[in-house]
Structure 1
Amino acid sequence: MKKFTTAALAALIAAGSMATASAADAQSRYDRNDRQEQRQDRREDRRDDRRDNRDDRREWRQDRRDDRQDYRQQARAYDRWQRAERRYSAPRYYAPRGYQYQQWSYGQRLPSHYTRGYVINDYSRYGLRAPPRGYHYVRNGNDVVVAAVAGGLITAVIAGLFN
């Protein structure tokens, strides 16, 4: 009985390996075609990726162009020196202690003493637009100066806004 079981098992193993070998031969023929199709698919995917990247770059350039155009328009809106179209009544102006009225111009630095009590927070009341981020309006006599909050660099002067 043992011999019969051993012989049957050996025959089964031999038949299984032959079936596997013939399946492997058949599979290798199909694998070649599959591999070629996979390579073709990968090539097409890479081409699509390149096209997508190219489109992304174009969109990025267009966005930067729009940003530059917006910046230029904002810069034009705040000319360096403007004459006020309308005059507003305001309380009497007193210069900071140790200073007297001085006519400031573009590119100069406003002393830090002017940031206490001279900043105009209700700019819409005087017909002014919101200052750019990082800047504020500062009263200087009858004029208004647009100065950087951090360093006091003057970027615009609006002359004669107050009576």
Structure 2
Amino acid sequence: MNSFTKAAIVALALATTAAPLAAEAQDRGDRREYRQDRREDRREYRQDRREDRRDFRRERRDDRRDWRQGEYDSRRDYRRDRREDRRDFREERRDDRRDFRRERRDDRRDYQRDRRWDRNDRDWWRGRSDFRDYAGRRSGYWYAPSYGYYRVEPRYYGYRWQRGHYLPSAYRHYYVRDPYVYGLRPAPRGYRYVHAGDDIVLMAIATGLIASVLYDVF
């Protein structure tokens, strides 16, 4: 066997052996690339999923924030409206009460103005504010409307005043607030109407001299 034949046999043997090895190497390379591709696919999938979750959580936070903000705005608007309603209600109630008190005062004033002294009506004074603490006659006391009860000396209790008498100085300052109620004209200059027990006397301010008497006013 010559050298050429030997070389051909060796080459054939090498070719026969190298082909499976090359195929095996190619197969390993393919598997490696497949695994690499699969790892990259998984990595990209996980990355995409993380990003999707992140976006979902962000959107959910935004939605919750918007919902809370919307609820807060609604509650704030509700509380503001309720405060305004309460404020309006209180103002209207104050106005109503003020109007009611004003009307009641006017009614009382009109009633008191109409309830003038009447000799034929012994209860004419009832309902008047200046008689609010009057509880009838009390022994040893006189009563002056708008002033109340005050003690008098026993000799003056039930005393019958006359024109020309002098009213004691201790009893000269219980002035009649509104002579019109008793049907009296305005007092002349230097004179005042004064309550003296159940009577009203027209008295000289300087001396206490009685010029006239209106008996049994109440």
Same fold (TM over 0.5): no
More helix by share: 2
Q: TM-score range by the shorter chain?
A: 0.3 to 0.5
Q: Which structure has the bigger radius of gyration? A: 2
Q: TM-score, normalised by structure 1?
A: 0.40
**Larger relative CO (CA 8 A, sep 6+): 1 or 2?**
1
